[in-house]
Structure 1
Amino acid sequence: MPDVAVTARVEQVYREESRRILATLIRLLGDFDLAEEALHEAFFVAVERWQRDGVPDNPRAWLVSTGRFKAIDVLRRRARFNASRPLLIAQLEALEQADWSDEDVEDDRLRLIFTCCHPALAADAQVPLTLREVCDLTTEEIARAFLSTPPTIAQRIVRAKAKIRDANIPYQVPTLAELPERLDSVLRVIYLVFNEGYSASVGAELTREELTREAIRLGRLLVELLPEPEVMGLLALMLLHEARRLARTSASGELIVLDEQDRSLWDAGMIAEGCALVARALKTRRFGPYCLQAAIAAVHAEAAKAGETDWPQIVGLYDVLVQAMPSPVIELNRAAALAKRDGPLAGLILIEGILQRGELLDYHLAHSARAEFCRQLGRVDEARAAYERALELTQQVPERRFIEGRLKGLE
């Protein structure tokens, strides 16, 4: 293959397989940092070798094997310079003696998720670590998701890796008896991955399909592993949102709000699967926040036209959801639903109450919603100020263009 084609193939494999390869290397090597170093060494070698020998039949197995041998070389060098470290010598001997074959390349990402979400780790480190290691989000992307700073997130990740190493936290899927207590963090991780893909925090694109696809795949794995109501609820929620992805932007990439979307573009298969999961979960009567959010998404999905949406039912579901999981963001969403049922003034009163409490002051969607209600009420100056504040807080290009369009409309 020409050099350009090989390089493109290596880049494609990295995009599609690097997280699987990393997870397997962590299982084989027992060390996050060593596995990451081995991963990048393997891809570096691939660029040269694949040009000379051709792309292997099983690129993932080739890369895992190459990464493993690179890690052994690293440990040999370390052992030569510091033969007094018995743990290092033992690690090297175990790697050299371990059997290996291409068939040993299993999908270890679910195992990796549960390791990253181990209860021995600090709660504020579990999700960032998993987003970084399993999904390859940058510390900057994770920081935006947490409304934090990159140095803070990076420090949490470093501490979590050290804890896993020093405490010998097992790299395995928990037993069925242990699963429920470990599940909340895992669900939160998967949903944050999905949200970053469904509405990217920065950049020129509204969505990142590879992240939504990955989150849904992990959700399916969890449903197979533990078909609990909240697991089904999360998968249903992601499917029902993802079903609308193609309708959320125009051909030129402009944002299209829910009421104006072409519903014929919605994925009927995903909607049917999501609604079936919601019904299955609600029948257990052991549902929680994810099931309730999925139920709201199902009501939206079942409306053939925006004007046929059952807003009273949605407001009622939000009433239950606010009780189950108090959150200013959920209150904001409830305010938007209430405005659809009772008019913009009802929604505006609720949003101003949230902002007056000092909550969501740096959340652009709160200011966008306030601006929209002010615009509908003819309060142009207030709408302009709110849109301008939302624009200051928005880093995503399609959202910025949408807000700029609304400001021009006020003029």
Structure 2
Amino acid sequence: MTGRRMTSLLAYATAAATGAALLTGCGVLPGVSGGSREPLTVMTWAPDGTRATNMPGMPAMAQAYARWVNAEGGIAGHELRVLTCNEQNSSAGAAACARRAVRENVVAVVGSYSQHGRAFMAPLEAAGIPYIGGYGLSEDEFTSHLSYPVNGGQASLIAGHGMQLAESCRRVSLVRPDTVAGDRLPTLLNSGLQRSRHRTATDIPAVEDAGEYTEKASEAREKAGDDKGCVTAVLGERTQTFFDSFRRLPDSDDDAEVRISSVLGSVGQPLVDRTGGSRSPFEGAYVTGWYPDASDKAWTPMLKVIREHAFEDNRIDPADAGVQTTWIAYTVLKKAVESVGAEEVTPLRVARALDRGEEIDTGGLTPPLRWRYEDMLGATDFPRIVNSEVTFQVVRQGRLVAQKPGFVDVGETVRSAP
């Protein structure tokens, strides 16, 4: 073998070994071609492989975003490094992810999902790490001075859903998780219903990770009645399980007047597709969302990034509310880092950039976002909501489409909830 041939083979082996080492890193996405400044490390967490709601598309979207932005030279010259963590749908898991974020010296936690706000916000606050664009499940996301929500969370969805149902439903049954987070939902739904002087909904708590819901489904249908009755279920991934039980009830096919409904995150386009499209049991269902429907042209930049940098990663569905929230959260991070204008980006500098009123244009996916005191809703339990707009959607011919164009502001409804 010639010396040149040997040198070539050794160089190839070294490059291959280096690549393998990068690929086997636990939960770390290395940069593609970032800038010359110090790397920028962030974390995105979400539950995966659990018996309740799983959101693998959120960290996957974060990784695709990093590949894209690094291919463009990074954020303000900084290579973006994304750490991921499985939150496991538990307070212990959420706390563990937060502690790891502190150990890894991240500048922010971005576009993450957890209902265990008390468990993860305390470690982040102690370290001064901002939490940008969380999914909006926990009240702590709307009270902590270091949280920067991009939507109105479950509060705006549920209050808005009450407003949506009040226009069409005579009686409403609400099936929701029998958890601390779920306990707040009936009050919010009723605040929306009562904006139109509607009667309150029947509250039906249910086990979050049950294998079937026949008893709860029967109770919900009975309480809703068959005269313009509506059954709404907000059970995350188990919403499909609930409606499977619902449609199997005796004579349920004859109850044409019983309408089903939910909110994005519990029902979305991926679920409609999996359950038959236009033949899905969700055909005709009312759904309240935070953002425009997935066919809106405002999503074009995200779709381009997914197409070019997700490498056919089937965890990423562009119609998924978690994926969409992660995209918007990283849009906020990018703008905040660019506004810092310093060689070293720290958690404090990122938080200050957002606190001083840096306005974030999300290209029509939300209203312009800004977190000054005067921009906040100031609702008793959700003071840091800055985006109180939702969209009313409906499933028609197997597609989630706008029931009415544009956004609906539910700020006053959320603020009036007792």
Answer whether TM exceeds 0.5 for this pair.
Answer: no
Bigger relative CO (Cα 8 Å, ≥ 6 apart): 2
> What TM-score, normalized by structure 2, do the two folds share?
0.23
Bigger radius of gyration: 1
Higher helix share: 1
Higher strand share: 2
> What TM-score, normalized by structure 1, do the two folds share?
0.23
